[in-house]
Amino acid sequence: MKTITSIEEMKKWSRLALSNNKSIGFVATMGCLHEGHLSLIKTSTEECDNTVVSIFVNQTQFSPEEDFDSYPRNIKSDKLILQTAGVDIMFNPNQKDFYPEEFQSFVTVEKKTNYLCGVSRPRFFRGVTTVILKLFNIIKPNTAYFGEKDWQQLQVVRTMVRDLNMDVSIVGKPIVRDKDGLAMSSRNLNLSKSERRTALKLTQALEIVQTLVTKGESSAVNIRAKIQETIEKKQGAKIDYISVCDPENFKEQTEIHSRVLVALAVRIGTTRLIDNRIIEKN
Amino acid sequence: MKTITSIEEMKKWSRLALSNNKSIGFVATMGCLHEGHLSLIKTSTEECDNTVVSIFVNQTQFSPEEDFDSYPRNIKSDKLILQTAGVDIMFNPNQKDFYPEEFQSFVTVEKKTNYLCGVSRPRFFRGVTTVILKLFNIIKPNTAYFGEKDWQQLQVVRTMVRDLNMDVSIVGKPIVRDKDGLAMSSRNLNLSKSERRTALKLTQALEIVQTLVTKGESSAVNIRAKIQETIEKKQGAKIDYISVCDPENFKEQTEIHSRVLVALAVRIGTTRLIDNRIIEKN
């Protein structure tokens, strides 16, 4: 595996691979890799001739009061993991090359970012779409793999790619959970033992919802109330949002007719966690 | 010459050309072609294996009260002109394919659009950068040619290409003027004979400024006053802006030290015209 930090070198490498008719799979991460990332990487190495993984922690998607500085980083371990996983390129550009002083161009997706994480993190999606478009332009992947834990992000990226006529296939992969059920996230590293026990209420709430709907519950109001009750049983969990919404446009539902996204964002101490589950009514 | 209206067909054509190692030159126009466009097209046909010209009138760069409906269109004559000029592809997608109902993604360049036309046309640059990025993604030109009449637009496109790591060279070409000195513009067609005489005051004002600076004038205040006086001598001309500014970041200057952009926007009847001149102090 090769580590590339220069944007120009990354461009050159990609264009050479493509001119040799080698396909490129890409996984955008912010490093501190876990099993969730590895599931995306595994699919990429199986499906594509080459796999590029970026571990760039993207400042523009954090608001000033957010956790950019405390976001977990571990390049040495990331490198070892990517080597073992059969990745071809670890791409780790530095912030100043990626966002030079005079940087001033942004990509925004409008409607789909007015809900869920777009409300509580006003800069988030603009930062995500901008960094992803830049990475796509540099790396030129044929296929890019995203985790469904960030369900809204996945839909926003799909929308950008469709609207802006970009040449890349976007593939979403299911949430990977730890043994105790907690959705894999780099931010889990910031949880204390007791906070982790609190965090498990997210998983539990989503499981309860699945059971309720299977048993015939179809009121979104009741479902939201049940989630709130489950999470607030534990002290130290502060709900950011509980949403029972359309999985594509994120509009809140009152009744579950067919397929909904149940999405949660909860602060546990200083750590904000998200989780979700697609629930289908029989 | 082939006319392509389908985005998919345009994509296929471009990718085939590129895979055959044929370079693509691109000129983005809104049709109603004139000598200014032809100067860009001529350079493209000389420098590139293939030339694509789009004649798409881009609704997203017009505000609701602006002249999208009355913007001049003449596809038949455009086709003949492009054929004669040796263009390979006239690209004319329809609005609904280009901006489907659920379209919601935009590219914005921030700092450079806070001046000049960005002030009086708040939607303009966002529309321009979005359409240009889409066209670049569809057509994949190696080089794209832009006229310096739209000087600010040229700099904004350059900034977008740099910031978003796009693979295209941007080439600017000098303003082409009619025999009477008026800068070529599709909107000139909307001028009555008497309005055209008024419009010539823009050219005249820029020539006067050049003479003044050559003679030693270096006060931007005096230059702005002289332009205003020249234009307002004619009834029916309403000044939108007169700017003596830095040619790259558009900040207003008080003194002319080396190289400035003198830029004008003036309404003549219902037609808004722009013109500019780069002035260098000896």
- Give me the amino acid identity at A100: P
Q: Do residues B203 and B276 make contact, with C-beta atoms less than 8 angstroms apart?
A: no
- Of the CA atoms within 13 Å of residue B211, those in its CB half-sphere come to 8
**A165 near B CB under 8 A:** yes
Chain B contact set for A11 (CB, 8 A)? 165, 167
Contact A167 B137 (CB under 8 A): yes
CA distance A188 to chain B (A): 32
Q: What percent of chain A has pLDDT over 90?
A: 96
Return the residue matching tokens 């490093």.
Answer: A31
Same domain, B141 and B213: no
Residue A180 domain-assigned (yes or no): no
Contact B112 A104 (CB under 8 A): yes
Residue A281 domain-assigned (yes or no): no
Nearest residue of B to residue A158 by CA position? Answer: B105
Longest dimension (CA), chain B: 58
Q: In the 8-state DSSP scheme, what is residue A62?
A: S
pLDDT score for A39? 98
Residue A27 domain-assigned (yes or no): yes
Same domain, B25 and B156: yes
Residues 6-25 of A with CB under 8 A from B: 7, 11
- Per-residue CA distances from B114 to B110, B126, B161, B205 (Å): 7, 11, 18, 24
Q: pLDDT class for A281, splitting at 50, 70, 90?
A: confident
Q: pLDDT class for A234, splitting at 50, 70, 90?
A: confident
Nearest residue of B to residue A100 by CA position? Answer: B163
pLDDT score for B235? 87
- Per-residue CA distances from B277 to A46, B29, B131, B185, B257 (Å): 57, 22, 26, 15, 16
Task: Choose among B95, B33, B102: nearest CA to B69.
Answer: B95
Q: How many CB pairs under 8 A join A and B?
A: 72
Q: In the 8-state DSSP scheme, what is residue A183?
A: B
Residue A58 domain-assigned (yes or no): yes
Same domain, B167 and B41: yes
**B160 near A CB under 8 A:** yes
Nearest residue of A to residue B164 by CA position? Answer: A134
Domain boundary (B147, B173, B199) is at B173
Chain A contact set for B137 (CB, 8 A)? 164-167
Beta-carbon count within 10 A of A101 CB: 6
pLDDT digits (tens, 9 = 90+) for A133-174: 999 999 999 999 999 999 999 999 999 999 999 999 999 999
Q: How many domains are contained in chain B?
A: 2
pLDDT digits (tens, 9 = 90+) for A45-60: 999 999 999 999 999 9
* Angstrom distance (rounded) from CA B56 to CA A260: 39
Contact B11 A165 (CB under 8 A): yes
* Phi/psi at A117 (5° precision): -65, -25
Domain boundary (A121, A146, A173) is at A173
Alpha helix stretches (DSSP H) within B63-214:
75-84, 95-98, 117-120, 124-139, 151-163, 193-214
Q: Do residues A266 and A240 make contact, with C-beta atoms less than 8 angstroms apart?
A: yes
- Of the CA atoms within 13 Å of residue B233, those in its CB half-sphere come to 14
- Give me the amino acid identity at B65: E
Q: Report the b/e string of A259-271 with b at 16+ CB within 10 A.
A: ebbbbbbbebeeb
* pLDDT reading at B282 higher than 80: no
The CA R_g of chain B, rounded to the nearest whole Å, is: 19
Chain A contact set for B7 (CB, 8 A)? 165
Task: Choose among A222, A267, A259, A266: nearest CA to A242.
Answer: A266
The boundaries of the domain holding residue B247 are: 186-277
Same domain, A151 and A55: yes
**B251 near A CB under 8 A:** no
CA distance B244 to chain A (A): 22
Paired residues of A238 in beta bridges: A267
Contact B163 A107 (CB under 8 A): no
Residue A181 domain-assigned (yes or no): no
* pLDDT reading at A14 higher than 80: yes
**A255 near B CB under 8 A:** no
Same domain, B225 and B153: no
**B104 near A CB under 8 A:** yes
Same domain, B8 and B146: yes
Q: Which of B7, B105, B109 sits opposite A105 (nearest CB)?
A: B109
CATH number at residue A113: 3.40.50.620
- Give me the amino acid identity at A278: I
Q: Which of A129, A130, A165 sits opposite B138 (nearest CB)?
A: A165
Same domain, B97 and B230: no
Q: Which of A111, A138, A164 sits opposite B137 (nearest CB)?
A: A164
Q: Tell me which H or E stretch contains A145.
A: strand A143-147
Q: Spot the catalytic one: A10, A26, A37, A173.
A: A37
Same domain, A168 and A191: no
Nearest residue of A to residue B113 by CA position? Answer: A104
* Phi/psi at B180 (5° precision): -80, -5
Q: Which of B103, B107, B110 sits opposite A107 (nearest CB)?
A: B107
Query: Which of A137, A165, A166 is the best substitution to test chain B (most B C-beta atoms within 10 A)?
Result: A165
Q: pLDDT class for A98, splitting at 50, 70, 90?
A: very high
* Angstrom distance (rounded) from CA B166 to CA B187: 31
* Angstrom distance (rounded) from CA B236 to CA B194: 10
Q: Which of B133, B163, B167 sits opposite A164 (nearest CB)?
A: B133
Return the residue matching tokens 């970026």.
Answer: A54
ipTM of the complex: 0.96
Contacts of A214 (CB under 8 A, 6+ apart): A282
CATH number at residue B215: 3.30.1300.10
Query: Which of A105, A130, A155, A166 is the best substitution to test chain B (most B C-beta atoms within 10 A)?
Result: A105
Give the pairing of strands B143-147 and B169-173. parallel
Q: Do residues A276 and A202 make contact, with C-beta atoms less than 8 angstroms apart?
A: no
Same domain, A218 and A192: yes
Same domain, A15 and A136: yes
Task: Choose among A141, A184, A165, A158: nearest CA to A49.
Answer: A141
Please provide the average confidence, as pLDDT, over all residues in chain A.
97
Contact A137 B167 (CB under 8 A): yes
Chain A contact set for B136 (CB, 8 A)? none
pLDDT digits (tens, 9 = 90+) for B73-113: 999 999 999 999 999 999 999 999 999 999 999 999 999 99
pLDDT score for A71? 92
Q: In the 8-state DSSP scheme, what is residue A219?
A: B
Q: What percent of chain B has pLDDT over 70?
A: 100
Residue B90 domain-assigned (yes or no): yes
Same domain, A18 and A143: yes
Mean pLDDT of B134-153: 98
Same domain, B205 and B248: yes
Residue B71 domain-assigned (yes or no): yes
Residue A149 sits at the vertex; the CA angle it makes with A126 and A223, to the nearest 5 degrees, is 105
Q: Do residues A211 and A183 make contact, with C-beta atoms less than 8 angstroms apart?
A: no
Paired residues of B18 in beta bridges: none
Domain boundary (A127, A145, A173) is at A173
**DSSP notation for A105-126:** EEEEE-GGGSSTHHHH-TTHHH
**A164 near B CB under 8 A:** yes
Contact A110 B106 (CB under 8 A): yes
**B152 near A CB under 8 A:** no
Residue B87 domain-assigned (yes or no): yes
